[in-house]
Amino acid sequence: MSPSWNNVRADFPILHQQVNGHPLVYLDNGATSQKPRSVIDALVRYYERDNSNVHRGLHALSTRATDAYEGARARIAKFINAADPAEVLFTRGTTESINIVARSWGHAHLKPGDVVLTTEFEHHSNLVPWQQAAKAAGATLKYVPLLGADGEGGPDLAALDQLLTPQVKLFAFTHISNTLGTINPVAEFCRRARAVGAVTVIDAAQSVGHRPLDVQQIGCDFLAFSGHKMCGPTGIGVLYGRRALLDQLAPDETGGGMVVQVTYEGATWKPAPERFEAGTPNVAGAIALGTACDYLDNLGRDKIAAHDTALVTIAMEKLSALPGIRIIGPKKGAERSGMVSFAFEGVHAHDVVTFADEDGIALRGGHHCNQPLMRKLGLTSTTRASFYLYNTPEEIDRLVKSLQRIQKFFAG
Ligand code: PMP
């Protein structure tokens, strides 16, 4: 049975407020999602009852905090179907997760003449770390082209085959583009990369909270995501790494909690996950992220994906009818994730966002950390409306009305 989406709204306290005299319409979920009561309660409960440092104390609170922290790791492993909780490393978010791989794996494995492959539509967080790693190693960074004047054709799969030579040591790509809404065939990408012996890194920031995700079925080596885009807190995220790779990897950061023995001459490392979690971790964040996994799986991520698709299909239909609009990314709602990025002829995205805010609607305008992609499409910025489980068709109507008001103002 499908959840009642209107009841879902009751779980999110922040949604029940007026902004500029209008009920809030929150359509900036690509940037960060709102938090259900259960996640907020998990944070408060931890600080009220269990707050203590993990892995170091023998007292009751420390044991409780450690059990809850490790319980969250096991919960998240189940959420992405990792074979072993030790394959789940807690980080600050997608950006840190990708940087860890770029620095640790890149430093150990990349050499002059090697190729790192990515796509033309990556978030800066899955682009700049690879530029840095390639530069440091004397390797070359290459890009799988994006097809279509509006980026509607997705990745060029024929070009991918040409680019995937044995020189490619690593292929890093997004699961879902945060600007285009393109959904990449990630299992297929991994299969092709494996055929040339390349390690795969997936940026799952926009996907893991929106649709079922199974790292074993996808067959990736690394996968990164952020808690705050999937109903969890900010400041917590995950790097999934296949155990065999993590065991060979040197830590990026060193310090307390990740060592077995330290002498004045040197130190030895614990195995994963501790090896990669130097210092006091974000215990409350990790626990509340586990709660977010419960929340999403209780609703059903397949149902959330269907809800996203239903909303984006309505939005595509209604927005396409507006004069002078240019929508980028896949043309059909069914082929994209729950977001729409668009440009209005003669109206800057920042003006669109400011006007929509007057109507109580939260949108995002700018380059969306996709500057090279914007340049490729001949744009400086777009406006993005991004949906999640608590959004409704009525909110899309409010968006359309607001956009009509904006167009009228600028036409006059
Ligand atoms: N990748 C993608 C596709 C994203 O949408 C984002 C967030 N906008 C990131 C990476 C970076 O995530 P974070 O800022 O949480 O590290």
Q: What is the CATH number of domain 41-297?
A: 3.40.640.10
Say if residue 1's pLDDT is above 70. Answer: no
Mutate to test the pocket of ligand 1, among 33, 94, 186, 230 (most ligand atoms within 8 A of CB): 94
Among the atoms of ligand 1, which is closest to the Cα of residue 94?
16
Among the atoms of ligand 1, which is closest to the Cα of residue 177?
3
**Beta carbon of 123 within 6 Å of any ligand 1 atom:** yes
Are 327 and 316 in contact by the 8 Å Cβ rule? The answer is: yes
CA of 269 to the centre of ligand 1 (A): 30
**Beta carbon of 126 within 6 Å of any ligand 1 atom:** yes
Q: DSSP code of 145?
A: P
Q: Give the pLDDT of residue 371.
A: 96
CA distance readout (Å), 186 to 10, 171, 374: 34, 11, 23
**Beta carbon of 93 within 6 Å of any ligand 1 atom:** yes
Per residue in 208-261, pLDDT (tens digit) is 999 999 999 999 999 999 999 999 999 999 999 999 999 999 999 999 999 999
Among the atoms of ligand 1, which is closest to the Cα of residue 226?
15
Query: Who has greater pLDDT, 1 or 66?
Result: 66
Q: Is 116 exposed, middle or buried (0-12, 13-18, 19+ CB in 10 A)?
A: buried
Mutate to test the pocket of ligand 1, among 178, 183, 236 (most ligand atoms within 8 A of CB): 178
Percentage of residues in the chain having pLDDT higher than 90: 96
CA of 348 to the centre of ligand 1 (A): 23
Helix (H) or strand (E) holding 342: strand 339-344
CA distance readout (Å), 17 to 24, 216, 360: 6, 41, 10
**Beta carbon of 203 within 6 Å of any ligand 1 atom:** yes
- Give me the amino acid identity at 122: E
Q: Give the pLDDT of residue 217.
A: 98
Query: Coil, helix or strand for 182?
Result: strand
Q: Give the pLDDT of residue 292.
A: 98
Nearest residue (by CA) to ligand 1, atom 5, is 178
Mutate to test the pocket of ligand 1, among 369, 371, 386 (most ligand atoms within 8 A of CB): 369
CA of 94 to the centre of ligand 1 (A): 6
**Beta carbon of 125 within 6 Å of any ligand 1 atom:** yes
Query: Who has greater pLDDT, 395 or 58?
Result: 395
CA dihedral sign of residues 128, 186, 243, 208? positive
Active site residues: 369
Question: What is the SS3 string spanning 246-278?
Answer: HHHCCCCCCCCCCEEEECCCCEEECCCCHHHCC
**Beta carbon of 382 within 6 Å of any ligand 1 atom:** no
Helix (H) or strand (E) holding 64: helix 60-79
Domains 5-27+300-411 and 41-297 share a fold: no
**Beta carbon of 94 within 6 Å of any ligand 1 atom:** yes
Q: Give the pLDDT of residue 55.
A: 84
Per residue in 109-157, pLDDT (tens digit) is 999 999 999 999 999 999 999 999 999 999 999 999 999 999 999 999 9
How does the average pLDDT of the chain come out, rounded? 96
Q: Give the pLDDT of residue 2.
A: 62
Q: Give the pLDDT of residue 57.
A: 75
- Give me the amino acid identity at 192: R
Per residue in 54-111, pLDDT (tens digit) is 987 789 999 999 999 999 999 999 999 999 999 999 999 999 999 999 999 999 999 9
| pLDDT band (50, 70, 90) for residue 352 | very high
Per residue in 183-196, pLDDT (tens digit) is 999 999 999 999 99
CA of 25 to the centre of ligand 1 (A): 22
Q: Which CATH class is domain 5-27+300-411?
A: alpha beta
Domain boundaries, the chain: 5-27+300-411, 41-297
Cα gap 2→299, rounded to integer Å: 8
Say if residue 405's pLDDT is above 60. Answer: yes
How many secondary structure helices (H) and strands (E) does the chain include? 15, 19
